[in-house]
């Protein structure tokens, strides 16, 4: 039963999360709250690990949740559930590619999807910022409400990105430095 539920939950996510990996975050937040498979802290860790490992972020997170919930088979089933809607759509579109290329209606549909995709990514940004920068267990207005170390790290990275020589560094350098700082300061 858990395998069917994993497939169905990630199929829904793959069907409606248009816009890439970050667009899956609002769906995963809801899924974690409803199923109890992972907490918001686990989600933050999944995002961090998925962003710093090769492969699509949504697929990495689906594989992790599936493996954590149902072992190797669960990981495979959750991943298949996430990518299945895309495969189905690609197969349908491939059959009608010539007509779709020249269709004003299809252009209009994709133009209309852009705001929804942008909103999903903005919701993911807000969720990640809330998880990383705010201590939801503390009272607003107290010193413990914000994760000051994380805010300081974000400001330092932002300032480093304003310096031309540092701007040219590969993103993996920033990921590695942030990982070392996170381990040293226990973020």
128 and 110 assigned to the same domain: yes
164 and 128 assigned to the same domain: no
86 and 169 assigned to the same domain: no
93 and 164 assigned to the same domain: no
36 and 125 assigned to the same domain: yes
Residue at a domain's end among 87, 111, 133: 133
28 and 107 assigned to the same domain: yes
Tokens of residue 43, six digits: 């989600």
Tokens of residue 29, six digits: 């937040």
In whole angstroms, what is the distance from residue 150 CA to residue 76 CA? 34
Task: Please give the model's pTM, rounded to 2 decimal places.
Answer: 0.59
113 and 181 assigned to the same domain: no
Which residues face 134 on adjacent strands?
146
Residue at a domain's end among 92, 117, 133: 133
pLDDT tens, position by position, 94-124: 777 666 667 788 778 878 888 988 888 888 8
Q: Could you list the residue range(s) of the whole structural domain that residue 182 is in?
A: 138-187
Predicted pLDDT of residue 187: 54
74 and 149 assigned to the same domain: no
Give 133's contacts (C-beta < 8 A, 6+ positions apart). 146, 147, 150, 151, 154
Number of domains in the chain: 2
User: Helix, strand, or coil here: 54?
Assistant: coil
Residue at a domain's end among 87, 102, 133: 133
Predicted pLDDT of residue 99: 67
14 and 97 assigned to the same domain: yes
Under a CB-based contact definition with an 8 Å cutoff, are residues 72 and 6 in contact? no
163 and 108 assigned to the same domain: no
In whole angstroms, what is the distance from residue 36 CA to residue 7 CA? 16
107 and 167 assigned to the same domain: no
55: left (phi over 0), alpha (psi -120 to 50) or beta: left
Residue-level pLDDT, tens digit, the chain, 187 residues: 899 999 999 999 888 887 677 788 888 889 989 999 988 888 888 888 887 777 788 888 889 899 989 999 999 999 999 999 988 988 887 777 666 667 788 778 878 888 988 888 888 888 888 887 887 776 776 777 888 888 888 888 888 888 888 888 888 888 888 788 878 877 5
In whole angstroms, what is the distance from residue 10 CA to residue 184 CA? 35
82 and 158 assigned to the same domain: no
User: Helix, strand, or coil here: 36?
Assistant: coil
């Amino acid at each position: 039963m858990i395998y069917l539920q994993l497939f169905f939950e990630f199929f829904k996510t793959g069907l409606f999360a248009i816009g890439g990996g970050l667009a899956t975050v609002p769906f995963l937040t809801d899924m974690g709250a409803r199923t109890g498979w992972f907490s918001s802290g686990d989600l933050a860790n999944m995002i961090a690990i998925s962003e710093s490992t090769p492969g699509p972020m949504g697929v990495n997170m689906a594989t992790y949740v599936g493996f954590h919930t149902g072992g190797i088979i669960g990981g495979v089933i959750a991943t298949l559930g996430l990518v299945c809607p895309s495969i189905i759509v690609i197969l349908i579109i491939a059959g009608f590619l010539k007509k779709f290329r020249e269709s004003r209606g299809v252009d209009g549909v994709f133009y209309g999807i852009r705001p929804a995709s942008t909103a999903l990514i903005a919701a993911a940004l807000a969720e990640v910022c809330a998880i990383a920068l705010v201590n939801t267990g503390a009272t607003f207005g107290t010193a413990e409400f914000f994760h000051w170390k994380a805010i300081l790290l974000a400001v330092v990275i932002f300032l480093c990105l304003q310096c031309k020589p540092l701007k040219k560094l590969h993103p993996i350098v920033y990921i590695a430095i942030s990982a070392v700082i996170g381990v040293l300061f226990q973020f």
